[in-house]
């Protein structure tokens, strides 16, 4: 299984309060996992972490990985 967690304002793009459990398939990428959500509808910029390491959408996932998607913060 792969867990996808959408945080803060991104929660609305996944069921169950922003948490989604999906079956891992060999060769599955971060983009494949995010494709199970509606994240493509957002205009919010976000960062992707897999098991506390920064990842890109083309990176592959392992069984048991946790993908965390969080909005980028701006300040001044």
Would you write out the chain's pLDDT as a tens digit for each of its 76 residues? 999 999 999 999 988 889 999 999 999 999 999 999 999 999 999 999 999 999 999 999 999 999 999 999 866 5
Structural domain contains residue 76: no
Structural domain for 14, as ranges: 2-71
23 lies in some domain: yes
Asked, for residue 49, whether it belongs to a domain, the answer is: yes
Q: How many domains does the chain have?
A: 1
Residue 62 lies in a domain: yes
Residue 46 belongs to a domain with what CATH number?
3.10.20.30
Q: Which of 54, 57, 50, 69 is nearest to 31 (CA)?
A: 57
Q: Distance of CA 45 to CAs 3, 4, 8, 42, 73, Å?
A: 21, 17, 12, 8, 9
pTM greater than 0.85: yes
């Amino acid at each position: 299984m792969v867990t996808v967690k959408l945080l803060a304002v991104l929660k609305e793009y996944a069921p169950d309060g922003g948490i989604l459990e999906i079956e891992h398939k060999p060769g599955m990428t971060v983009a494949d996992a995010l494709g199970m959500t509606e994240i493509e509808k957002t205009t919010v910029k976000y960062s992707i972490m897999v098991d506390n390491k920064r990842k890109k959408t083309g990176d592959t996932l392992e069984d048991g990985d946790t993908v965390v998607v969080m909005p980028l913060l701006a300040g001044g």
